[in-house]
Amino acid sequence: MKNVVVTDTTIGDVRGEEGFYHYRQYDATELARTSRFEDVWHLMIHGTLPDDAESAAFARRIGELRLLSPATVDLLRKVVTPEVEPLAALRLALASEGILERPLFDLTEGERTDAALRYAAIAPTVVAAAHRLSQGLDVIDADPTAGHVSDYLRMSTVSADDDAVSALQTYLITTIDHGFNASTFAGRVVASSGSDMTSSILGALGAFLGPLHGGAPGRALAALDEIGDPANTRDWVRGRIAAGEIIMGFGHAVYRTHDPRAELLKEVVTARYDSSLVRRATAVEAEIEAAINELKPGRRLYANVEFYAGVLMSEVGLPPSMFTPTFGVARIVGWTANVLEQAAERKIIRPVARYVGPEPRRGAFDR
């Protein structure tokens, strides 16, 4: 299903031909350059950018909600092993925290909003805790007085210097929402039935776990490692195309020009980090684009957000195992905003399929 309009939204849109996307009425990349994560979160949930008093109150509320219950921490300590991925732990924690959650259909608008904030706020704490437990380390408790991005990086890596927090905040804001992608649509389908907030988030998370969606940042960085010397790039691309394989970190279902998120993240990493990884990434990007133009003239295929996301997250100290979970920490804000909008409609999404099997016959038939 592609380019099928299923509902109206005031949350945002992606204009693929223009290389532009927005949250509400604001340019999303400009928000990422100039705003705090919590302020954009406020915009997504409440529809407006907060004034100073509202900003402080909202950040304080999110900080308090970021604290995990002792029962959830104990659950994570019992089940997380080196084999358990952080998003699998998040799936379990959300299901546990929401075991008594009532259907959205039966909640007031305020109650629905409370649930949205609660579950989105604990996501970074759960992800960071699961990461540390999988490494044989103990959980670092959330600090309700810290900023959301700073606290997430501290809980994950112990350190959170200002440059790293600023770079990561830019990335997280760029990935809060992005139109009716697969996970957002999945969450809205669940919400349209009147189901509860946690089930709606878990529906979105299930779609997000697929490597064609949320799982790409680590794979894009792995491709950089596989290529090694940028001089190897064109031969590598030829081999991938000949084998009919996807070039992770390149191309997008909507954009037909440069991905504005990738362009912004490239700007951030080249300005902040003079490292061999950044230099190799920019060289490989140019070589891949040139190779694709050579092999498939006229095909427009450019770096997408995952290509530079992996580079940025590596530079701020996050390991590849945390790339997709970090993406999820941002996207859960967009999921919950969409769930709230869908729940307010109180109409179930009921598409139809086009049957393409043998012609059916009425009446009795021979077996």
Q: How large is the average pLDDT for residues 172-191? A: 96
- Rounded Cα distance between 201 and 205, Å, is 6
The reply to whether 133 and 253 lie within a common domain is no
- Residue 149 contacts residue 169 (beta carbons within 8 Å): yes
Give a yes or no: residue 104 inside a domain.
yes
Distance of CA 326 to the CA centre of its chain: 7
Give the confidence band of 236 by pLDDT, cuts at 50, 70, 90.
very high
Give the confidence band of 2 by pLDDT, cuts at 50, 70, 90.
low
- With b for 16 or more beta-carbon neighbours within 10 A and e for fewer, the 258-291 pattern comes to bbbbbbbbbebbbebbeeebbebbbebbebbbeb
Q: Tell me the per-residue pLDDT of 62-79, one tens digit each, with 9 for 90 and over.
A: 999 999 999 999 999 999
| Helix, strand, coil abundance in the chain, percent, nearest 5 | 60, 5, 35
Nearest to 312 by CA among 123, 213, 166, 176: 166
Give a yes or no: residue 331 inside a domain.
yes
List C-alpha distances in Å: 219 to 60, 161, 214, 215, 264: 36, 27, 10, 7, 20
Looking at residue 60, the DSSP 8-state letter turns out to be H
Over 90: is that where the pLDDT of 306 sits? no
Q: How large is the average pLDDT for residues 203-230? A: 84
Nearest to 269 by CA among 226, 227, 231, 303: 303
The reply to whether 290 and 174 lie within a common domain is no
Structure tokens that stand for 155 in this block: 């809980």
Q: What is the tally of structural domains in the chain?
A: 2
Over 70: is that where the pLDDT of 1 sits? no
Cβ count near 336 (within 10 Å): 29
Nearest to 346 by CA among 36, 75, 112, 66: 112
- With b for 16 or more beta-carbon neighbours within 10 A and e for fewer, the 120-150 pattern comes to bbbbbbbbbbbbbbbeeeebbebebebbbbb
- The CATH number of the domain where 221 resides is what? 1.10.230.10
Give a yes or no: residue 70 inside a domain.
yes
Bridge partner residues of 303 (DSSP): 250
**Residue 286: which domain range?**
216-315
- Residue 116 contacts residue 340 (beta carbons within 8 Å): yes
In the chain, % of residues over pLDDT 90: 77
- The CATH number of the domain where 57 resides is what? 1.10.580.10
- Residue 39 contacts residue 50 (beta carbons within 8 Å): yes
Over 80: is that where the pLDDT of 93 sits? yes
The reply to whether 266 and 128 lie within a common domain is no
Write out the catalytic residue numbers. 252, 306
Q: Tell me the per-residue pLDDT of 314-350, one tens digit each, with 9 for 90 and over.
A: 999 999 999 999 999 999 999 999 999 999 999 999 9
The reply to whether 132 and 181 lie within a common domain is yes
